[in-house]
Structure formats: structure tokens, C-alpha cells
């Protein structure tokens, strides 16, 4: 592996997406999984949300500055498809009757993103950055992705969902917003006293 490959952000993004893809398969595997399905689903969503946020904050600004409007629009469109599919996973946890369909759609989006990274994103990043810039991008991407330790119940997807995409859940609450708390009812005796 030459030094250019060592500092290839596309390779790092592909590696991260391969981990997400593996986690999708582990979540769907059923009785062979080593962790409970709801925990695997939560970790998958947390990990994927961190990846999507890192792309938005670290990679896409570099891509936008590179020019090539058509390629940039395609890359941004692929990223939006990935985020939309992830949003469906977020609002369809394992207790939802269509959670498997949401994960399968997310798997398709991950595979399309991986293919787009190789054909569009990689060449564009190599054209727009030098080896030092790519090394720094890779370090920032890896640092962001490593923030989530496995099985930590971090709820990163709830913190990130509000800033990444506005999606409404079936009960019309926005993902990532805090529900309002109703005031406690008065004590029963106080309500009937004169």
C-alpha cells in the first residue's frame, strides 16, 4: 500500500460503511446474533449517525469547494439517500412491524454509497486535496467515528438526528427533539379540599 492509499479518505469511508453493513447483517441475523436485537439496532443507528454526520461536517465541505457541480450534486444526493434510509431505521426500532424492511432499505443505501464513494467521491477528493490534507481529513473522520464505543447506549442518534435530517415519526414528533413534559397533576386530596 503506497502512502497515497494510506491517506485515502475514500478507503476509510468504505471501511466505516463496511462496518455499518456488517452491523446491519448482524442485526438481521436473528438467533445467531451475540447481542440482543434492540441493542444491535441501537448501536447500528448510533454508528451510522456518527458516520453520516462526519461526512456532512468533514467531507462534504471539501467536495463543495472542489467544483464539478454535477458530481457534487450526485455525491450530496447519495448522502441524502443514506440519511433518509437511516432516518427510517431510527423511527422503526425492532419493535416496529416494518423494522426489517427499513434495515434492508438502509443496507441498499449503504451499498450504493460505497459504490459512489469509489467512482465519484474518491477521484474528486484526490483532485481537490493533497496528501497532507487527506491525512488530516482521515484523522478527523476516524476520530469522529471512534467516539462511539460498542454497546455503550450513547443515544448518539437522538442527539444527531435533529441536526442531520428533519424526519417525523409516526406519532408526529420530530426525531431528536425533546418531548414536552406535562405538569404533574395536583395531589388528589388538594383537588377536593375547599
Write out pLDDT tens, residues 131-154.
888 889 989 988 888 876 544 444
Domain extent listing, the chain: 3-164
Q: What is the pLDDT of residues 89-110, one digit of tens each?
A: 999 988 899 999 999 999 999 9
The model's pLDDT over 10-37, given as tens digits with 9 standing for 90+, comes to: 888 889 999 999 999 988 876 555 667 8
Query: Phi and psi of 29, rounded to 5°?
Result: -65, -25
pTM tops 0.75: no
Nearest to 176 by CA among 192, 194, 162, 157: 162
**All three cell numbers of 107:** 443496507
The percentage of the chain sitting over the pLDDT mark of 70, rounded to a whole number, equals 69
Angle between the N-to-C axes of helices 156-164 and 37-54, in degrees from 0 to 180, rounded to the nearest 10: 40
Q: Which of 67, 82, 56 is nearest to 124 (CA)?
A: 67
- Within 10 A of 115 (CB to CB), how many other CB atoms are there? 12
| DSSP 8-state assignment for residue 64 | H
Which top CATH class is 3-164? mainly alpha
Amino acid at each position: 500500500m503506497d502512502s497515497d492509499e494510506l491517506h485515502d479518505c475514500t478507503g476509510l469511508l468504505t471501511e466505516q460503511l463496511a462496518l455499518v453493513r456488517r452491523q446491519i447483517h448482524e442485526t438481521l441475523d436473528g438467533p445467531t446474533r451475540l447481542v440482543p436485537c434492540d441493542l444491535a439496532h441501537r448501536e447500528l443507528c448510533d454508528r451510522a449517525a456518527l458516520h453520516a454526520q462526519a461526512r456532512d461536517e468533514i467531507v462534504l465541505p471539501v467536495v463543495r469547494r472542489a467544483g464539478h457541480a454535477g458530481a457534487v450534486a450526485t455525491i450530496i444526493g447519495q448522502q441524502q439517500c443514506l440519511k433518509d434510509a437511516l432516518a427510517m431505521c431510527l423511527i422503526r426500532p425492532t419493535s416496529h412491524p416494518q423494522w426489517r424492511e427499513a434495515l434492508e432499505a438502509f443496507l441498499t443505501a449503504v451499498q450504493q454509497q460505497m459504490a459512489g464513494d469509489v467512482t465519484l467521491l474518491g477521484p474528486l477528493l484526490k483532485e481537490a486535496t493533497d496528501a497532507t490534507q487527506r491525512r488530516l481529513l482521515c484523522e478527523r473522520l476516524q476520530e469522529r467515528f471512534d467516539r462511539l464505543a460498542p454497546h455503550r447506549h450513547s443515544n448518539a442518534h437522538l442527539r444527531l438526528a435533529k441536526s442531520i435530517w428533519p424526519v417525523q415519526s409516526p406519532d408526529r414528533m420530530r426525531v431528536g427533539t425533546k418531548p414536552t413534559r406535562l405538569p404533574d397533576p395536583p395531589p388528589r386530596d388538594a383537588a377536593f379540599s375547599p
